[in-house]
Amino acid sequence: MSRSRAERMADLRVELYGELVGHLVGANRRTFDFVTHANAIATFGLGSTILSESVPFDLVVNRARAARRRNYFAELLPEGSALDNLAAEIRVSMDDIIALLAQFGRDVAGAVQIYDPEAPGEPRVPALAAVDAAEIGRMLKNTQAAPLGNRPKTGRTSLAGVQEKIVLARDQGRWFQVLDGYPSTHIIKPPSARYPSITFDEEYGHRAAKAAGLTTLDSWIEDFDGVPGLVIERYDRSLDAPQGRIHQEDMNQALGASKNEKYQDFGGKLSLKRIAEVLGRNGDEESVHRLLRLLTLSQAIGNLDMHGKNISMLHLQDGSTRITPTYDVVPQTHLDSDGKMALAINRKFLHAAITVDDLIEEAESWKVRSPRTIVMETLDSVKGFVHSEAPVEHAYDGLQGDIAAFSRNLMEGRPTGHGG
Distance CA(358)–CA(345), nearest Å, equals 6
Burial (Cβ within 10 Å: 0-12, 13-18, ≥19) of residue 261: buried
| Region of residue 126 (left: phi > 0; alpha: psi -120 to 50; beta: else) | beta
Q: Is the dihedral of CA 46, 49, 51, 54 positive or negative?
A: positive
Rg (alpha carbons) of the chain, rounded to whole number: 21
Burial (Cβ within 10 Å: 0-12, 13-18, ≥19) of residue 91: exposed
Task: Please pick, among 116, 201, 305, 328, the residue that the annotation labels catalytic.
Answer: 305
Say if residue 391 is preceded by a cis peptide, omega within 30 of 0.
no
Which residue type, as a one-letter code, is found at position 263? Y
Distance CA(46)–CA(273), nearest Å, equals 28
Q: Is 305 in the active site?
A: yes
Alpha-carbon distances of 409 from 8, 48, 225, 384, rounded to whole Å: 60, 45, 42, 15
Catalytic residues: 305
